[in-house]
Amino acid sequence: MSSSRVKSKESIILKDKVIDFLLVRSKKRKISLSMRIKNDGHLQVSVPFATKEKDIHHFLNSKKDWLLAKLQQRENKSRRIPLTYHDGELHWFKGEKVPLKLVITSYSRVEMLDDCLLVYNRRHASVKNALEKWYKKQALNYFKQRTDYFAELYNFPKVQEIKIRAMKARWGSCSSNRVITYNTHLIKTPIACIDYVILHELCHLIHQNHQRGFHQLQLKINPDWKQQKHRLDEFGRHYLL
C-alpha cells in the first residue's frame, strides 16, 4: 500500500529571496493548501496529493508579504543579543532607551527617576522579574487610561475588560465579548505606536474583521495609522516571533 503522505524539499523565489520549504503532499487533504513556520524556523507547506506545482507557487506568492515578514522576524530573533540586566544596560520605555541603575536593598521596587530605571532589589534577587512586574503594572495603568480616553472621545462601545500579557505574535487583540488584551511589550514602544494599537483594537468593537468597514473607520479616526504601524513593525523585530 502506498504512503498517504509524500514529503520533498522544495524552494521558491519571492521578492528575489530564495525560500526553502518542506512540501507535504497528502491524500487525506482534499482541497485546502496551508503553510506554517515550525518551531525550528523552517517552512512547511501542506497540499492535496495531486496539487500542481504552479498552484503551489501561486499560493505562496499570494501569501508572500506575510511569509517574508514572519521569516524575517524569526531571523531577527536569532540575531538578538540577550539582555543581561546589568547596571547601565539600556531598556526601552515608551519609545526611549533608558539605563538601568541597580540598588541593593532589603526590599524590591522599580521606579523611573531622572531618566533612569532604578531597580531596588535584594542581593541575588532577579532583576528581570522585578523589571517585568514593573513593566506590566505600567502597561496596565497606561493602557487603561488611554483606552478610556479614546473610547470616550470617539464614542466607542464600552470595553468590558482590559488585560495585559506578553504575547509572541501580536500587539493586541479584541474578543467578541469586548475584552481587549494588550501585549506587555507595547509599553516599550513610542506613544504614537501605542495609540495606533489602542485605536485599532477599539475599531474591532464595531468591526470584528479587517474588511472595508474596519479600514474606513480606522482611517477616519487615525489618518496616520500606516506610519505608526511601520514604526511599530520595527519594534516587532525585538519582541515578536
Q: Which domains does the chain have, with CATH numbers?
A: 5-79 (no CATH), 90-239 (3.30.2010.10)
Question: Edge-to-edge, what's the strand order for the sheet holding 5-14?
Answer: 5-14, 17-26, 43-48, 34-37
Q: Could you read off the pLDDT tens digit of each residue along the chain, which spans 241 residues?
A: 457 889 999 999 998 888 999 999 999 888 889 998 887 778 999 999 999 999 999 999 999 988 988 887 777 666 667 889 999 999 999 999 999 999 999 999 999 998 899 999 998 899 999 999 999 999 999 999 999 999 999 999 999 999 999 988 899 999 999 999 999 999 999 999 999 999 999 999 999 999 999 999 999 999 999 999 989 988 887 777 5
Q: Compute the distance between CA of residue 193 and CA of residue 143 in angstroms, rounded to an integer.
A: 12
pTM for this one?
0.72
Put residue 41 in one of left, alpha, beta given phi > 0 → left and psi -120 to 50 → alpha: left
Three cell numbers at 171? Answer: 500587539
